[in-house]
Chain A
Amino acid sequence: MQILVCIKQVPGTSKIDVDPITGVLKRDGVDSKMNPYDLFAIETALRLKEQKGGTIKVISMGPPQAKEVIKEAFMMGADEGVLVSDRKFAGADVLATSYAISQGVRQLGNLDLILCGKQTTDGDTAQVGPEMAEYLGIPHIANVLKIIEVKESSILVEMDMANTIEMAEIQFPCLLTVEKDIFQPRLPSYKKKLSTKDREIKTITFNDLEDKNEKRYGLSGSPTQVERIFPPSVNSDRETWTGTGAELSSQITDKLKQLKFI
Chain B
Amino acid sequence: MNNYKTLDAKDREFLVSLLGEERVYTGEAISDDFSHDELGGISRLPDVLVDVLSTDEVSKIMSYANENNIPVVARGSGTGLVGASVPIFGGIMLNMCGMNKILELDEENLTLTLEPGVLLMEISKYVEEHDLFYPPDPGEKSATIAGNINTNAGGMRAVKYGVTRDYIRGLEVVLPTGKVINVGGKVVKNSSGYSVKDLICGSEGTLGIVTKVILKLIPLPKKAISLLIPFPDLDSAISTVPKIIKSKSIPTAIEFMQREVILAAEEFLGKKFPDNSSDAYLLLTFDGNSTEELEKDYEKVANICLAEGALDAFIIDTDERKEAVWSARGAFLEAVKASTTDMDECDVVVPRNRVAEFIKYTDLLQEQFNVRIRSFGHAGDGNLHVYVLKDELSEEAWKIKLAEVFEEMYRKSRELHGLVSGEHGIGYAKKGYMFDQYEPDYVELMRNIKLAFDPKNILNPGKVCE
Contact = CB atoms under 8 A, between A and B. Distances in A.
Contact of B275 (A33, A187, A193): A187
Interface stretch (B75-83, B307-315, B331-339, B427-435): B307-315
Contact of B320 (A31, A36, A186, A191): A36
Contacts of B299: 190
A189 B320 contact: no
B274 A193 contact: no
Contacts of A188: 314-315, 317
B132 to A, nearest CB: 18
Q: Which of B228, B299, B313, B324 has the most CB of A within 10 A?
A: B313
A187 B321 contact: yes
Contacts of A75: 315
B447 interface: no
A240 interface: no
B110 interface: no
A187 B302 contact: no
A235 interface: no
Interface string A193-205: 1000000000000
A183 B313 CA distance: 21
B306 A31 contact: no
B271 A187 contact: no
A12 interface: yes
B314 A190 contact: yes
B275 A190 contact: no
Contacts of A185: 274, 324
A184 B271 contact: yes
A13 B319 contact: yes
A190 B274 contact: no
A13 B318 CA distance: 9
A185 B291 CA distance: 23
A12 B318 contact: yes
Interface in A66-106: 75
A190 B273 contact: no
Nearest to B274: A187
A193 B299 CA distance: 11
B interface SS class: mixed
Interface string A173-186: 00000000001111
A3 interface: no
A39 B315 CA distance: 14
A30 to B, nearest CB: 12
Nearest to B273: A184
Nearest to A29: B222
Contact of A190 (B313, B318, B321): B313
A194 to B, nearest CB: 9
Query: How many B residues are at the interface, by size bracket?
Result: 20 to 34
Nearest to A39: B320
B280 interface: no
Contacts, number: 49
A262 B272 CA distance: 35
Contact of A184 (B272, B312, B314): B272
B306 A191 contact: yes
B316 interface: yes
Q: Which of B273, B306, B320, B324 has the most CB of A within 10 A?
A: B320
Nearest to B223: A31
Interface in A133-191: 183-191
A33 B317 CA distance: 9
Interface string A1-44: 00000000000110000000000000000010110100100000
B289 to A, nearest CB: 12
A186 B274 contact: yes
A36 B320 CA distance: 7
B389 interface: no
B312 A189 contact: yes
Contacts of B227: 190
B312 A190 contact: yes
Nearest to A34: B318
Contacts of A190: 227, 299, 302, 306, 312-315
A185 B320 CA distance: 10
Nearest to A43: B274
A13 B319 CA distance: 8
B318 A189 contact: no
Contacts of A12: 318-319
Nearest to A188: B315
Contact of A187 (B228, B272, B291, B319): B228
Interface in B269-308: 271-275, 291, 299, 302, 306
B318 A33 contact: yes
Interface string B225-251: 001100000000000000000000000
Interface string A225-249: 0000000000000000000000000
Across the A-B interface, the 7 shortest Cβ-Cβ residue pairs: A187-B314, A184-B272, A190-B313, A36-B320, A188-B315, A190-B302, A191-B312
30 contacts: A12-B319, A13-B319, A33-B317, A33-B318, A34-B318, A75-B315, A183-B272, A184-B271, A184-B324, A185-B274, A186-B274, A187-B228, A187-B315, A187-B321, A187-B325, A188-B315, A188-B317, A189-B312, A189-B315, A190-B227, A190-B299, A190-B302, A190-B306, A190-B313, A190-B314, A190-B315, A191-B306, A191-B312, A191-B313, A193-B315
Given A33-B317, A75-B315, A189-B314, 8 more contacts: A12-B318, A12-B319, A36-B320, A184-B272, A187-B275, A189-B312, A190-B299, A193-B315
